[in-house]
């Protein structure tokens, strides 16, 4: 009896050991604008790679960069721009090439006003008391928002109304709670069904700001993680591209 138990235990331990040898975990730092799109891509990836598990942490790209520089155990870094990954490369923390994966777009969004009939000039309207944007000091979507408002020639009227949110989703919260009337968000966020049902949006012409070229990098930590490489390659596959397009991203190699 005891012997049989022993066999069982050894067998179970072996099976567990085998399973963990095949299953690989990937930890990803992703820009906050990717919140819903990335979750869908990850779900599709895990379906076709049942042994791999993805852990995605969303936040501002600047914060993720700082964390990786300080040794945070991320295998992949999906930034909301291309300059931050380049910064990481300069520090020698990147394996392989920095790869652009999408171009983002920014929109005006409101739950209390019909944003689809707005332009950037409408932001000067006195009924709009507060406009929420992501903090341009460390969020690429916030930097592009400032550029677009300046290009539209309404900076002087709009600047006193700006409030600075941590990330694009935080800016959406400030509007949803009624504290700001309009926010500049990412198109990817407002195309998510949860957000889309709550308000209307207007796509800001991309000639008004620098391109939001978003790139990823495999970090030094992820160098020997095969699943991290597999997921990076998966981003260029038709399934992943279709999901990204559904969230309004323009993809590399695509006519704009």
Is residue 19 within 8 A of residue 11, CB to CB? The reply is: no
Q: Is 66 a binder of other proteins (CB under 8 A)?
A: yes
Task: Give how many residues touch other proteins by CB under 8 A.
Answer: 21
DSSP letters spanning 102-125: EEE-EEEEESSS-GGG--GGGGG-
The H or E element containing residue 183 is strand 182-186
Q: Is 132 a binder of other proteins (CB under 8 A)?
A: yes
Q: What is the CA radius of gyration of the chain?
A: 21
Q: Is 86 a binder of other proteins (CB under 8 A)?
A: no
Q: Is 49 a binder of other proteins (CB under 8 A)?
A: no
> Which of 19, 29, 78 is CA-nearest to residue 50?
19
Q: Which range of residues in 71-79, 94-102, 160-168, 222-230 is near other proteins by CB under 8 A? A: 160-168
**Least distance between other proteins and beta carbon 172 (Å):** 12
> Which of 99, 107, 147 is CA-nearest to residue 251?
99
Q: Is 179 a binder of other proteins (CB under 8 A)?
A: yes
Q: Is 138 a binder of other proteins (CB under 8 A)?
A: yes
52-59 sheet: strands from edge to edge: 52-59, 24-31, 76-78, 212-219, 94-104
**Least distance between other proteins and beta carbon 135 (Å):** 6
- Of 130 and 246, CB closest to other proteins: 130
Q: Is 174 a binder of other proteins (CB under 8 A)?
A: yes
**Least distance between other proteins and beta carbon 47 (Å):** 33
How far, in Å, CA of 252 to CA of 185, rounded? 21
Beta carbons within 10 angstroms of residue 100's beta carbon:
15
Residue from 41, 76, 165, 187 binding other proteins (CB under 8 A): 165
**Least distance between other proteins and beta carbon 143 (Å):** 11
**Least distance between other proteins and beta carbon 144 (Å):** 16
Provide the binding-site residues for other proteins, judged by CB under 8 A. 60, 62-63, 65-66, 87, 130, 132, 135, 137-138, 163-166, 170, 173-174, 177-179
């Amino acid at each position: 009896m005891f012997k049989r138990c022993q066999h069982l235990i050894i067998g179970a331990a072996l099976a567990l050991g085998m399973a963990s040898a095949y299953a690989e975990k990937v930890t990803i730092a992703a820009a906050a604008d990717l919140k819903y799109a990335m979750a869908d891509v990850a779900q599709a990836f895990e379906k076709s790679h049942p042994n791999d598990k993805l852990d995605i942490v969303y936040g501002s790209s600047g914060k993720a960069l700082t964390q990786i520089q300080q040794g945070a155990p991320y295998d992949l870094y999906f930034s909301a721009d291309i300059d931050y990954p380049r910064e990481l490369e300069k520090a020698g923390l990147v394996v392989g090439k920095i790869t652009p994966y999408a171009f983002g777009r920014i929109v005006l969004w409101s739950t209390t006003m019909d944003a689809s009939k707005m332009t950037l000039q409408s932001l000067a309207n006195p009924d709009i008391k507060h406009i929420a944007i992501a903090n341009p000091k460390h969020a690429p979507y916030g930097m592009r928002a400032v550029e677009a408002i300046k290009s539209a020639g309404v900076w002087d009227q709009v600047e006193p109304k700006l409030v600075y949110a941590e990330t694009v989703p935080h800016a959406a919260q400030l509007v949803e709670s009624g504290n700001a009337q309009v926010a500049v968000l990412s198109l990817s966020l407002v195309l998510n069904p949860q957000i889309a049902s709550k308000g209307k949006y207007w796509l800001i012409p991309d000639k008004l700001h620098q391109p939001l070229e978003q790139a990823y990098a495999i970090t030094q930590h992820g160098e020997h993680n095969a699943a991290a490489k597999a997921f990076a390659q998966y981003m260029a596959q038709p399934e992943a591209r279709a999901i990204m397009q559904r969230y309004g991203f323009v993809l590399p190699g695509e006519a704009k």
